[in-house]
Amino acid sequence: MKEQIKISLAFVGLLVGAGFATGLEVVQYFISFGLTGLWGVLVAGVVMTAAGAVILQLGSYFVAEEHNRVFKEIAHPAISRAMDLAVIATLFCIGFVMLAGAGSNLEQQFGLPTWIGSLIMLVLVGTTGLLDVDKVSNIISAVTPLLIVAILVAFGYTLFNLPEDFGRLSEVAMAEDSPVSPWWLSALNYNGLSLLLGVSMSLVIGGAHSNLKATGRGGLLGGVIYTVLLAMAAFTLLANIERVAGNDVPMLSLFESMHPVMAFIMTFVIFIMIYNTAIGMFYALGKRVTASRPDRYTPVFLGLCAVGYGVSFIGFDTLMTYVYPVLGYLGLVLVVVLVSWWVKSRKRFPQESERRERIHDLEEQREDPDRDFDGGDQSELDQALDDSEADSDRLETVVTGEISASAADPDHESGAARDAEGNSAGR
């Protein structure tokens, strides 16, 4: 269960980035349709929950170190190449948009020049990106609760200060600009955008876990958490639309109306969520670009961050308005390809899951000095690794890493407990 929660929070952290924290995406894609936009929240939540489980489980199935490993396995070479290029371009574009957003955030609250805020973000991202994927995943998981708390506070404040006429508020909300219409297409476009932004790092996070059940359930749990957060954020912004209408950072405006200290705190929450998105973009981009030359990751990653900083001066709000809808449609195509392959191949997953449980048990047996491990056991382990559709060396590395983590953490779920849970779920 602990592993599932960790995966779910990392997934949510990738999705609820800067645009969600500022509230601008929520207003543009949902609240701009008034009360009808709340139905869009439901549509987006259902799609996100299903797609999240699929993407994370695909990452685990292929123990992916970068997204192209999965694309090549599930699609025609021409299609996988197009998907790969779309994700690479998106990672870089959103990466430098986040650097620009960091500058805008600190400029609005503290009057700092935008280049200073962007530079601070550049240093944070550049430092974090030199860590391994587990540490990056842990960081993403750790900062996500900050936004959850902020949304809960704003939602609670709104419940105690409910407006009398939601019909009038709906009319005010509909005066806001929406980059996509009608409401249901806007919701789907938002799904496509969010998943395109998070697909690369989600596949990498899934690939760091060998347990297919845990990654699938983690995706489902993450989707549910995301849906609840989106619903609360949408309701909160709709109920306070008269205070936040026309503002580039609606959520910050709401907190300013509550208390100046709250606005001060929210500024840092937004900054951290921008960081959350930026590290996910640049880390996944660096891993993809250096997939054939892993030893070049550090200089390439730092170089990409530096170039992104230079491009970031184009501006945060402009890029969100014009680039995001296009990315949303690209993301929808990507999601259809991934989900279609999963549906077509879903019968393979139970067998692979059982195989990995056996691999995990054999690896634990080999590492335990109190248990016998003979040549027959080694042959069985080698055969199981060879039979897996994942890269055998990579899969073994992931499994042995999980065993080491289990030994170091007494609260970590043991192989026996995991198997018992899986068997119980199977019945």
Instruction: Give tens-digit pLDDT for 50-61.
Output: 999 999 999 999
- Phi, psi values for residue 123, rounded to 5°: -65, -45
Q: What percent of the chain has pLDDT over 90?
A: 21
Distance in angstroms (rounded) separating the CA atoms of residues 227 and 232: 9
Judge whether 208 and 65 are in contact, CB under 8 Å.
Answer: no
Distance CA 48, CA 26 (A): 15
pLDDT reading at 89 higher than 50 = yes
DSSP character at residue 149: H
Which residues, in sequence order, are CB contacts of 237 under 8 Å at separation 6+?
A: 23, 26, 27, 31, 244, 250, 251, 254
Residue that the structure tokens 């601070």 belong to: 120
Q: What is the token pair recorded at 284? A: 């996944």
**pLDDT given at position 415:** 42
Report the range of poorest mean pLDDT among 13-27, 150-164, 198-212, 244-258.
13-27
User: If pLDDT is split at 50, 70 and 90, which confidence band does 418 have?
Assistant: very low
For residue 21 the two structure tokens come to 């924290």
Per-residue pLDDT for 127 more than 80? Answer: yes
pLDDT of 343 strictly over 80:
yes
Q: What is the pLDDT of residue 142?
A: 67
Please report the pLDDT score of residue 426 as a whole number.
Answer: 35
CA 316 to chain centre: 20
Mean pLDDT of the chain: 83
Q: How confident is the model at residue 183 (pLDDT cuts 50, 70, 90)?
A: very high
What CA–CA distance (Å, rounded) separates 84 from 150? 35
Per-residue pLDDT, 414: 42
pLDDT at 174 over 70: yes
Long-range own/partner contacts, residues 349-353 (CB < 8 A, 24 or more apart): 349/57, 349/61, 349/212, 352/61, 352/212, 352/388, 352/389, 353/211, 353/212, 353/213, 353/422
Tokens for 133, please give them: 């994927």
Q: What is the pLDDT of residue 8?
A: 85
Q: Is the CB of residue 249 less than 8 Å from the CB of residue 20?
A: no
C-alpha 408/C-alpha 385 separation (Å) is 25
Which of 133-147, 211-225, 316-330 shows the highest mean pLDDT?
Answer: 211-225
Give the per-residue pLDDT at 145. 78
Q: Which residues contact 119 (CB under 8 A, 6 or more apart)?
A: 309
More confident residue, 136 or 183: 183
DSSP H or E segment with residue 181: none
264-296: pLDDT as tens digits: 888 887 887 788 778 878 887 888 788 788 889
User: Predicted confidence band at 97 (pLDDT cuts at 50, 70, 90)?
Assistant: confident
Whether the per-residue pLDDT at 416 is higher than 50: the answer is no
What pLDDT score was predicted for residue 55? 92
Residue 368 CA to residue 41 CA, distance in Å, equals 49
Instruction: Report CA Rg, the chain.
Output: 22
Cβ-contact 92, 327 below 8 angstroms: no
| In the chain, ranges of CATH 1.10.4160.10 domains | 2-346
- The pLDDT assigned to 24 comes to 82
Rounded to 5°, the CA angle 233-318-223 comes to 30
pLDDT of the residue at 188: 95
pLDDT average, residue stretch 173-194: 90
Q: Which residues contact 242 (CB under 8 A, 6 or more apart)?
A: 169, 172
Q: Report the pLDDT value the prediction gives residue 16, as an integer from 0 to 100.
A: 74
pLDDT value at 413 more than 60: no
Pick the residue with more confidence: 188 or 320? 188
Check pLDDT > 60 for residue 411.
no
Q: How far is CA 138 from CA 135, 275, 280, 359, 380, in A?
A: 5, 14, 12, 25, 34
- Tell me the fold of 2-346: Hydantoin permease (1.10.4160)
- 18-27, 69-78, 258-267, 338-347: lowest mean pLDDT where? 18-27
Distance between terminal CA atoms of the chain?
18
Q: What is the pLDDT of residue 187?
A: 94
> Could you tell me the pLDDT band of residue 224, with boundaries at 50, 70 and 90?
very high
What would the mean pLDDT of 18-39 be, rounded to a whole number?
A: 87
Residue in this structure with the two tokens 């070049």, named with its chain if needed: 296
Selected residue with higher pLDDT from 134 and 393? 393
pTM of the model: 0.79
